[in-house]
């Protein structure tokens, strides 16, 4: 017998940008670049922002939700393509992000009695428990939405804002910029003017592609599942049923100790400097040299051996304040299916770094002690005996 859903959907609506003015500089369509093509079919990025408030259901539905919807519409006038879809040009020769008058962003409003504090904590939690609070990108073979949103109330405790975004449309920096813009306009009422650092730049001519990587990457995706395949459906990477998501913190002292420890040994600094030098030397032919087969090389990596990073402490996720304070927790939930771990700033605004990681249940049970012991080890050994090694390296002829 199927278990009842922990979330009650109250409304599924569509939010559109205001009518686009003829003299607007915001484009209705954009070509996909080779950067976008890299991420054309991977699963959407999903993230949850948890806000602690004491709104009852009535106040939430009559005050909070209308404010979020209205400010979202005003924000979309600066981000019109986000109300559109990834699709083909009429002749199927190019992929574009296209907004057509009448396109909208799916906006789901829901309610839940799930333990808000348990869900927004740091300890390992079942990754699948986040799914009911996240929207999906529902599209067709030839049109996939750029963005979907869901707001869920935990009565008298708080609410969450979840998004799913097409990674071929927005990278981590861009979606965070959009969320900051939405929060900024939400706190300013009818004033929808964005400050310069939140105003998006749409000039694609700045991106130079001398090797035509756009065609190389698009051909990879379109031929991956058969010749001349035109489907734009996103890949469905299911997380393990026993996947557990947890959050761990690195303080500034932890980070400094780790740096002192990635430099251990008599020739630690020399080896590090040599590696940096070789990396710089490898860029002499341009940063795009040898990138034509990057997708095929990634695809050849065995399952479970590919590791990537989602997010950055520089994004300022915890600065996303819609008028109800900073988030209690920001969770990058999509790392449960893409082999990544997440990085973000910390909730208290300090220089700490939050690390999100997904492990199987039996792995998560031992990870906490391993992580703690690792930090203790770097703290114990980063200074003391290694200090003399560092001094010798600093005085060496290599430097």
Catalytic residues: 167, 321
According to the 3-state scheme, what is the secondary structure of 20-38? CCCCCCCCCEEECCHHHHC
| Cα-based distances in Å from 103 to 8, 28, 96, 138, 146 | 26, 11, 15, 13, 11
d(CA 130, CA 127): 6
d(CA 205, CA 123): 45
In the numeric block, the tokens 């520089």 are attached to 314
Q: Strand order in 147-154's β-sheet?
A: 7-15, 105-112, 147-154, 158-165, 45-52, 329-332
d(CA 218, CA 294): 12
d(CA 123, CA 132): 19
> What does 75-104 look like in DSSP terms, one character per residue?
HHTTSGGGGSEEEE-TTSS-EEEE--TT--
Cα 206 from chain centre: 24
Neighbours of 124 (CB within 10 A): 21
Instruction: Please say whether the beta carbons of 197 and 176 come within 8 A.
Output: no
**285 pairs with which residues across the strands?**
none
For residue 281, report the phi and psi dihedrals to the nearest 5 degrees. Answer: -60, -35
For residue 163, report the phi and psi dihedrals to the nearest 5 degrees. Answer: -135, 155
């Amino acid at each position: 017998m199927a278990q009842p859903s922990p979330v009650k959907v109250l409304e599924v609506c569509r939010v559109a940008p205001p009518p686009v003015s003829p003299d607007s500089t915001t484009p209705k369509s954009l070509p996909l670049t080779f950067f976008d093509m890299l991420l054309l079919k991977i699963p959407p990025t999903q993230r949850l922002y948890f806000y602690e408030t004491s709104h009852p259901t009535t106040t939430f539905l009559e005050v909070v939700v209308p404010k979020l919807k209205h400010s979202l519409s005003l924000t979309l006038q600066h981000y019109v393509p986000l109300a559109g879809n990834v699709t083909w040009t009429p002749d199927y020769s190019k992929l574009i992000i296209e907004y057509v008058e009448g396109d909208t962003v799916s906006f789901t409003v829901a309610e839940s009695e799930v333990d808000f504090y348990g869900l927004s904590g740091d300890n390992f939690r079942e990754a699948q428990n986040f799914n009911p609070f996240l929207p999906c990108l529902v599209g067709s073979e030839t049109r996939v939405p750029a963005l979907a949103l869901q707001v869920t109330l935990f009565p008298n405790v708080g609410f969450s804002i979840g998004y799913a975004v097409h990674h071929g449309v927005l990278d981590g920096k861009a979606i965070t910029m959009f969320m900051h813009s939405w929060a900024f306009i939400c706190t300013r009422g009818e004033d929808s003017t964005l400050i310069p650092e939140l105003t998006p730049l749409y000039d694609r001519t700045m991106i130079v592609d001398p090797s035509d990587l756009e065609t190389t990457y698009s051909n990879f995706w379109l031929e991956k599942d058969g010749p001349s395949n035109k489907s734009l459906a996103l890949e469905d990477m299911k997380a393990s049923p026993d996947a557990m998501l947890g959050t761990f913190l690195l303080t500034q002292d932890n980070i400094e100790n780790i740096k002192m420890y990635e430099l251990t040994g008599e020739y630690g600094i020399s080896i590090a400097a040599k590696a940096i030098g070789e990396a710089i030397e490898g860029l002499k032919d341009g940063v795009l040299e040898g990138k034509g087969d990057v997708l095929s090389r990634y695809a050849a990596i065995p399952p479970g051996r590919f590791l990537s990073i989602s997010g950055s402490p520089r994004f300022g996720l915890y600065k996303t304040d819609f008028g109800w304070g900073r988030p209690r927790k920001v969770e990058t939930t999509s790392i449960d299916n893409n082999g990544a771990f997440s990085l973000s700033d910390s909730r208290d605004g300090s220089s700490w770094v939050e690390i999100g990681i997904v492990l199987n249940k039996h792995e998560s049970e031992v990870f906490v002690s391993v992580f703690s012991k690792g930090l203790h080890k770097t703290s114990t050994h980063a200074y003391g005996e290694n200090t003399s090694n560092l001094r010798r390296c600093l005085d060496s002829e290599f430097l």
